[in-house]
Amino acid sequence: MLDTYEQETQCMSLYTFSGLCAGYGTKTIIDNISGNIESGRITALIGPNGGGKSTLLRALGGLVDYSGSLELGTREVKNISRRDFGRTVGFLPQTINVKTAFSVYEIISLGRLPFRGILEPMNNYDDKIVLESADLAEVGDLLFRTATELSGGERQRVLLAMILAQQPKLFLLDEPTSALDPNHARCIFSLLRRLVSEGRSVVAAAHDLNSAISFCDDFIALKAGEVIASGPVSMLDGKILHELYGTKFQCYRSKEGNTAWHPE
């Protein structure tokens, strides 16, 4: 069944963009890039700091002004309402400062916000989703803790649980494992793999090159606001990485066939 689904979704474009420029104020960060992101896959945005990963991700989420064309499915991102975004896209920002002392349960419940009417209370179905999401992000035992007392990694997982509760078709994640220990990072990536196998799509800005390579399907390499290379991660080689990060990379292969790249 999975295979038929993959065949259906393969080569189906999630995002198509051409002549895309985006930035903040008068500063252009993404400069005239074109390409597409396929649905039903995990796409990693890789590249050096300040290369435009976050800005591209924010443009995909409709959070920055842009010029050129950027289509999600068949709709121009500019014309999609915030509520529609809230119902279809889960966005995990890079820095998460929880400023108000909500309980973890209350925060995850906020993920149901786009689906509830003004005075409609949480129903059993919402509760069920909240509990499931908490479980998936491994914060089930933190539910009644206060968010401001959590560690950075716990907070990141709580926010992830919140966007899981949105049950979005698409996840936009800005360095989703930046505050996580290796074990939790692996768990989150396996979770993302599972979501993708259910037909969701993930676009993640990744600072950790090797976890990106081992868990993602595609990559887009961004440097100075331009796409240097893109395609399946198997295409990544020393040449691209050298050009991208400005330093030579060495490839290590394990007996199991996993590859890892490290600067020389």
Partner 1 sequence: MLDAAELSTHRKRLNRRRMHLAAFLCLLLLFTAFWRLGAGEWDIPLARVLTLLSPLLEESSRTSPEALIIRSVRLPRFLAAVGTGGLLAVAGAVLQGLLTNPLAEPYTLGIAAGAAFGGAIGFLFNSYAVPPMAFAGAMAALWLVSYISSRSGGGASSIVLAGIIANAILSAGVTFLKAIADDRLSAIVLWLMGSLSGASPLAAVSIWVAALILFVPAFLCARQIDAVSLSEGQGTLLGINEKKLRCLLLTVSSLATAAAVSFFGIIGFVGLAVPHLMRNFIGPSTKPLLVFSFLAGGLLLALADGAAQRLGELPVGVITALIGGPFFCWILMSRRHSV
99 makes contact with partner 1 (CB under 8 A):
yes
Question: Does the protein bind partner 1 through residue 102 (CB under 8 A)?
Answer: yes
- Measured from the CB atom, the residue of 31 and 84 that comes closer to partner 1 is 84
Residue 142 or 241 having the CB closest to partner 1: 142
Member of 116, 194, 239, 248 binding partner 1 (CB under 8 A): 116
97 interacts with partner 1 by CB under 8 A = yes
Residue pair 86/114 in contact (Cβ under 8 Å)? The answer is: yes
What sign has the CA pseudo-torsion 116, 58, 102, 124? Answer: positive
Q: Does 86 bind partner 1 (CB under 8 A)?
A: yes
Stretch touching partner 1 by CB under 8 A, among 48-56, 85-93, 201-209, 233-241 = 85-93
> Is the Cβ of residue 1 or residue 118 nearer to partner 1 in the bound state?
118
Q: What is the contact surface with partner 1 in residues (CB under 8 A)?
A: 61, 63, 81-87, 91, 93, 96-103, 105-107, 110-111, 113-114, 116, 118-119, 124, 127-128, 131, 134-135, 140, 143-144, 146, 149, 163, 166
